[in-house]
Structure 1
Amino acid sequence: MTEKENKHLYALVGKNISYSFSRGYFTKKFEKLDLEDHKYINFDIQSIHELPQKIKENKKRLKGMNVTIPYKLEVFNFLDRIDKKALKVGAVNTIKISKKGRLKGYNTDVYGFKKSLKPLLKKNHKKALILGTGGASKAVAFVFETLEIKYKQVSRTPEGKKQISYSDITEEMMSSYHLIVNCTPLGTHPNIENCPDIPYEFISSKHLLYDLIYNPTETTFLKKGKEKGATIKNGLEMLELQAEKAWEIWNED
């Protein structure tokens, strides 16, 4: 049996993901655990419709996948089964592949976000603004619902009652919405000068700013909050926690 055939293969499904947290994290993990027959690669695809071919090419070895921007919603149509929680969230970021080659979707972002957020919450964090409406924002919204935190989603193109536009964020709103989570890619390396367009002048020490971005460790969004005395948190711990949960799922019988 060749080395190639002997691999337990895992992959990250995404678009323009050369920066990939997951590949680096799991490569180090496999080295630490002395799992020489395990390998983690990127499926960097321009369309979700390329995914079946990627799976087919690696059918014998592929055990599991992570899913990132922009496919956490689109991947639903390519799964055989979806975990109940992922179905409620409306986004999948982890896929387990059975021995028969069936794909089951899970959401481990919920676990990672909730566990990393809870130690920072204070009594005044009763209302939140979620910046962005993509797959990651769905996990954040789900966590807020379980924690009974009221929230509004902020979008450049708002739809429905729960969504508002950036121009709708007033001083009055900022004075009661003390938890702000950035789920947009704005500020990600290399475009580190970018940040969501919110009225930072109304941020105070009562605010908690959480950015799902981990590179750079302190985004412009977080820096602006820190300057106003807010508590800040980046997305690295969430990513590590969700990765460990994914590993747990892949290794369940």
Structure 2
Amino acid sequence: MKKKPKKQLKFGLVGQNISYSFSEKYFTEKFEMGHYDNCDYANYDIKNIQKLSQIIQETKGLVGLNITIPFKETIIPYLDKLSKTAKKIGAVNCVTVSKKKKLKGHNTDYYGFKKTITPLLKEHHKKALILGTGGASKAVAYALRKLKIEYDFVSRTPDEFQLCYAELNTDIFDEYHIIINTTPVGTHPNIIACPDVNYSLFTKKHIAYDLVYNPEESTFLRKAKENGAKTKNGYEMLVFQAEKAWKIWND
């Protein structure tokens, strides 16, 4: 009896200006190494989230998507359902596509961040500053809540509940010993750029965590490290969130 060929399964990344993306390379290599010959991963570089419907309808065999900047929040109205965690976070970076083309949003960013910051934490790491207020910052905030770490957001255009960069002085840095960059500032190709903070305020007590992974050491991390801070880039977080997404797609 002739063996039935495996159904071709499609996965992909939806975002803007994503040619540098981690996901396509990571999953393509994963499929090759694991001999997932029926799996394929592609980038869907779009200017407007409204294009999502076209991708869903036109891509045969599509079962899973990763979502990146700038669509982690704007995608939500286009989904049929949200996981409990994604609902609580208010941002989505992983989508499952059913046979009937129904979309369910998940968040695996928080899992990746929580998994990778936990080994760095010491007793004095009780408060964090989150630089940026986009979709990634929401996942980081959720993870910090799970870890029982207090946090505040820092924004270039702060509301009454947020800090502005000019407020980040010695007193603030004495109180907040975890500084997390969730903005794309400093990522390839603009690798000289960095968040507008006074880097001389970093000390050996501080953790500087950058969600940027390209370059491996961003200007933010380099400057923080020069002043004694423990540093961590976003690569390992991406690996953990990708593997969590793979698990969700295969459940």
TM class by smaller structure: over 0.9
**Aligned residue pairs, count:** 246
Partner of 1:186: 185
Partner of 2:31: 30
Structure 1 gap ranges (5+): none
Q: Identity over the aligned pairs, expressed in percent? A: 55
Residue 176 of structure 1, CA deviation: 1.4
1:59-104 per-position Cα deviation (integer Å, ceiling 9, x unaligned): x310100000000000001101000100000100000111222110
The one-letter code sitting in structure 1 at the alignment partner of 2:56 is: I
Partner of 1:88: 88
Matches of 1:203 and 1:16 in 2, distance apart? Answer: 32
Partner of 2:117: 117
Q: Does 1:101 align with 2:116?
A: no
Residue 6 of structure 1, CA deviation: 4.9
Paired residue secondary structure (1:87) = helix
Matches of 1:123 and 1:160 in 2, distance apart? Answer: 30
Contact map agreement 2:28 2:41 (CA 8 A) in 1: yes
1:194-232 per-position Cα deviation (integer Å, ceiling 9, x unaligned): 000011111100000000010000000000111011100
Matches of 2:98 and 2:47 in 1, distance apart? Answer: 26
Partner of 2:58: 57
Matches of 1:190 and 1:11 in 2, distance apart? Answer: 22
Partner of 2:45: 44
Paired residue secondary structure (1:74) = coil
Matches of 2:212 and 2:153 in 1, distance apart? Answer: 18
Partner of 1:196: 195
Q: Does 1:216 align with 2:215?
A: yes
The one-letter code sitting in structure 2 at the alignment partner of 1:222 is: L
Runs of 4+ that moved beyond 3 A: none
Matches of 1:143 and 1:35 in 2, distance apart? Answer: 32
Paired residue secondary structure (2:69) = coil
Partner of 2:174: 175
Residue 150 of structure 1, CA deviation: 1.1
Partner of 2:237: 238
Residue 7 of structure 1, CA deviation: 2.4
Partner of 1:150: 150
Give the TM-score of the pair, scaled to structure 2: 0.96
Deviates more, 1:209-218 or 1:5-14: 5-14
Partner of 1:15: 16
Partner of 2:163: 164
The one-letter code sitting in structure 2 at the alignment partner of 1:35 is: Y
Contact map agreement 2:56 2:101 (CA 8 A) in 1: no
Paired residue secondary structure (1:175) = helix
Partner of 2:137: 137
Matches of 2:54 and 2:144 in 1, distance apart? Answer: 37
Residue 148 of structure 1, CA deviation: 1.4
Matches of 1:160 and 1:136 in 2, distance apart? Answer: 21
CA RMSD of aligned residues (A): 1.0
